[in-house]
Amino acid sequence: MMEYLIRFSQSHETFRLAEIQSLAVVEGVDLEIISYSDESPFCIVRLPSEDAARALLRRSVLTQTIHEHWGTAETYDELHAAVKRDTAHLWPQYKESSFKINIDAYQGSRSGRQKLDLINSFAYLPLEGLILLKSPDQEFTIFEQWEFDSVPRNLPNPLKVHFGRLVGHSVRGLVKTYDLKKRTYISTTSMDSELALVTANIALAAPGKIFYDPFVGTGSFPVACAHFGALGWGSDIDGRSVRGEGGKRSLKGNFEQYGLEKLLGGVFVSDLTNSPVRRSRIFDGIVCDPPYGVREGLKVLGCRDPEDKDAWLVEKGKRWYRKSTFVPPKKAYSFMAMLDDILDFASGTLVENGRLSFWMPTANDQEQEMPVPAHPCLSIVVVCTQVFNRWSRRLITYRRLPDSEVDVSALERKKQEEQVRGHTADDLNAFRRAYFKGFRTDEADTDVGTG
């Protein structure tokens, strides 16, 4: 095992480790994390070889580069000592290579003179090849990690310094390739390209796998999964979002835009509580961003009182459901019940060790925070968080347990739980209530009212 330094992008910090660890699973790479913090873009790991590092780079969106790790220290004197002590056996193979040395000062800044002095401090390396600023055989980088606001505070030294040899660049350019601004057909709920690709990576999308999105909309997740080789399927309660205007301005048109039409399995109209999908272990992954029910209350197909007041709607549906003009009735539904439905559906349709990755909103206030739902057949792999102002959304990823690992008694209790009761959109959605209250607690409301 060799040490490597991963230089992450400074975005979506809580997703970075989850993505790289998931890619190690996809590629069958033995990855060991030596040091990492969400506060820094530098992560030191152990990998079997450079080929293993390149395998991770072929898919990673949140990684910028990976480097063969030559040393880490708190001062330059200590760094030079470490490089001389630990890497001298590597020097001969780069003696005749053309090269250049870069400086990456995270949260810091160096003048041109200072950069030159730092580069020259590595003059003891026996690099006798040409110095080429464009396309050299080898690139070495000095990494500096500075305290926040180090430039206005005029701090003299960084917190930590690293040195390494470049192995390769990631496919971060995919974020621009799939940018929604360049996509022919989108809606207000289309997931941005970066997070869609990261979700596909964390869910282990790969060639030969079948992935499904039960809230497919314009197809952001199936498109991302298809890029990594998976066959994408989807459904949505609103067929208009799938069909669009037809042609290029449709979900199918999005696949055709990227040359991925052969990886579109199919899409159909349904909601998760009335799904025609056979309960069989067929999906390798389920990825989705379910509706939060904020702009309009969350709804599913059905009637509030099919046995009495709404019985006429049921009879109407039996007679007219085949007509193209028929619009099925919908009823308000509980947000937490929908999350439970997603987990139940995944437990019955995911293959062993298949992954479910879905997005879920929550308030930032701990007193109003929504709990992460659980299911006896699913084990939580990782929870990543994207923070906004007063609320956040989480990407929660589960693994379908082998049947031999499922707690049978817990599964039986799960089946006996009562359904959530309520009628209006606010009754059934605690997040919606909190959103329109500005995420104020009842105590805060009382204080304002009595002030």
Q: Residues with Cβ < 8 Å from 169, sequence gap 6 or more?
A: 57, 64, 65
Question: What rounded mean pLDDT belongs to the chain?
Answer: 89
Report how far residue 321's alpha carbon sits from residue 305's, in angstroms, rounded to the nearest whole number: 19
Look-up: residue for tokens 């870069």? 102
- Residue (of 81, 80, 94, 3) closest to 42 by Cα position: 3
Give the amino acid at 449: G
Instruction: Please give the pLDDT value at position 308.
Output: 81
Please answer whether residues 277 and 349 qualify as being in contact, where contact means their C-beta atoms are separated by less than 8 angstroms.
yes
pLDDT, tens only, 242-291: 999 999 999 999 999 999 999 999 999 888 888 999 999 999 999 999 98
229: left (phi over 0), alpha (psi -120 to 50) or beta: left
Report how far residue 59's alpha carbon sits from residue 377's, in angstroms, rounded to the nearest whole number: 29
pLDDT, tens only, 279-324: 999 999 999 999 875 555 677 888 887 888 888 888 888 888 788 7
What 8-state DSSP symbol labels residue 375?
B
Residue 109 pLDDT greater than 70, yes or no: yes
Report how far residue 227's alpha carbon sits from residue 212's, in angstroms, rounded to the nearest whole number: 14
